[in-house]
Structure 1
């Protein structure tokens, strides 16, 4: 009888411990989503790899769709975390915002987020619209910032997507904010082959690109700084459900954001363009930044 009682108590203790472990595991388990483009999938996989390296179980739901699809999923608990871009999230919740600088966007964002969500500190990495020139042309005319175009704009052709002709973050804004009036505007594409070909063959001297395009490195292009914040800041940051935010999870995600740069995204996007697997590219970044064992 005593032996049976002994085994019974032991079994009870084992069961109790197992339940406690299971509860702890559940508390430190997180579902990470992404939008339906490679850079978002890459960022989600970086978050997952860094969290897994610290013993936090993750499940990935990549390529969910547009913000109109994945934001409701975040709010209803279908996913717990997603990599986001600060300016775009602010516009999603407040279309009337006038904030453009990183400081202003970061200040306004928590004020418009639903109570269920937390915007963790952003990284220095940004994927946003920029103006670009070839390194040769930029050096020839001593252009580093958009404002440096002032003496030359009248002789330059600017190229980009057709909508750039009428949007504020395009020809009108360049005139209103920077006082730039270009020789002409050429409707091409957004950082695609038409724009790149025109820039590289000097058919246009200034172009609209995205700040994380691999061609900025592979084609020796220069991203002009935007000292007057015409283009809305788009710092990458983790957007997480408040119910899933623990000190350990925040520490890991903060350590990713503290080290992620725009230059990193350019290099990693180049690897994705070369058809390297997202998992490999993400894990290489996590290991090289000492966020996981070698």
Structure 2
């Protein structure tokens, strides 16, 4: 939900730890690259940004380290904010590369889109993105939005699908990121006929809020290790309210060259959902540093 994506889905402790990665730079003061990189070299600086949740910070670090290994001059701006802030930055050229989620990005750009499959969503993005922006090859890896409940709640009310929430939503408080209600309330009404009793902003602690009973259902990303660790149940999106959310780099075209594009596409070719879940476990559960996790994965896959 990333978002519509932006996003996006993890733990408060991980988020707090990663927020320090943002340094003192002001994302709103970023300026476009001074000149596009030449087709053969990488003389212009490439600015790699990320959203304000741990998975995006990890992906940004993977992109930045891989590009640096190819001789590209890179500046990293991690943990910037939500899509509402970050999209304007890459559109203006203040950022050059950003890890994105295709379904959430299209929903952000076209609130009337009915595209659900990867192919439909990519076609929609081609039509809706401004000419200065381009999505590169999508990874097999997806981090979809979900509506998630405890195992006990699922058993008590016989819940396995989002459609099943219709009979109980009026008695349920739903939680998610601060922008969750704005992005999803009308979508849930139109697709499922859902109207919840109350909406709460639970941010990166949504899984914890579900477990504690602060909310009865919440927006948790499907690569969040807490779904497994806390024995939560991600309800099946049986009417495809969220759509496919493959991870893909989006680039500011005047600021990238062939080296940048081929390096980022090589990353997408090797990144799948199971791998992403294992990487996020290292960050969220084992408390490993995201740049170290990124470097390990890049080294293991021959990308640095």
Could you state the TM-score of these two structures normalised by the residue count of structure 1?
0.70
2:61 paired with 1:49: no
CA distance in 2, matches of 1:125, 1:158: 31
Distance 2:158 2:111 in 1: 37
Once the two structures are superposed, residues 14-61 of structure 1 have per-residue CA deviations (whole angstroms, 9 ceiling, x without a partner) of xxxxxxxx9964447522122233222211101112223333332212
For residue 175 of structure 2, what is the aligned residue in structure 1? 161
The reply on whether 1:121 has 2:137 as its aligned counterpart is: yes
2:128 to 112, 117, 135: 112
Deviation of 1:116 (Å): 0.8
Cα distance in 2 between the residues matched to 1:227 and 1:263: 22
Out of 51-60 and 236-245, give the one that drifted further: 51-60
**Separation in 1 of the partners of 2:53 and 2:228?**
21
Per the alignment, residue 233 of structure 1 pairs with: 244
Q: 1:285 to 1:94 in 2, by over 3 A?
A: same
The answer on whether the counterparts of 1:217 and 1:266 sit within 8 Å (CA) in structure 2 is no
Residue range with higher mean Cα deviation, 44-53 or 112-121: 44-53
Q: Equivalent of 2:99, from 78, 83, 91?
A: 83
Q: Is the 8 A contact 1:159 1:208 kept in 2?
A: no
Counterpart of 1:196 in structure 2 is: 211
Query: 1:134 touches 1:222 (CA, 8 Å); kept in 2?
Result: yes
Residue of structure 1 aligned with 2:76, choices 44, 60, 63: 60
Q: CA deviation at 1:231?
A: 1.8
Q: Is the 8 A contact 1:127 1:262 kept in 2?
A: yes
What is the number of residues matched between the two proteins? 258
SS in structure 2 opposite 1:64? coil
1:71 maps onto 2:87 in alignment: yes
Tell me how far 1:65 sits from its aligned partner: 3.0
| 1:289 and 2:304 are equivalent in the alignment | no
Distance 2:79 2:153 in 1: 38
Deviations 1:143-168 (A, max 9, x none): 86656x59xx758986522877x924
Q: 2 CA distance for matches of 1:146 and 1:23?
A: 48
Which of 1 and 2 has greater Rg?
1
Counterpart mapping for 1:1-294 below 5 A: 25-27=41-43, 29-133=45-149, 146=162, 149=164, 160-161=174-175, 167-170=185-188, 172=189, 175-176=192-193, 191-198=206-213, 208-273=219-284, 274-292=286-304
Q: Describe the shift of the 1:217–1:52 C-alpha distance in structure 2 as closer, same or farther (beyond 3 A).
A: farther
Distance 1:260-1:224 versus aligned 2 partners, 3 A rule: farther
Structure 1: where are the runs of 5+ without partners? 1-21
More strand by share: 1
1:188 to partner: Cα distance: 6.1
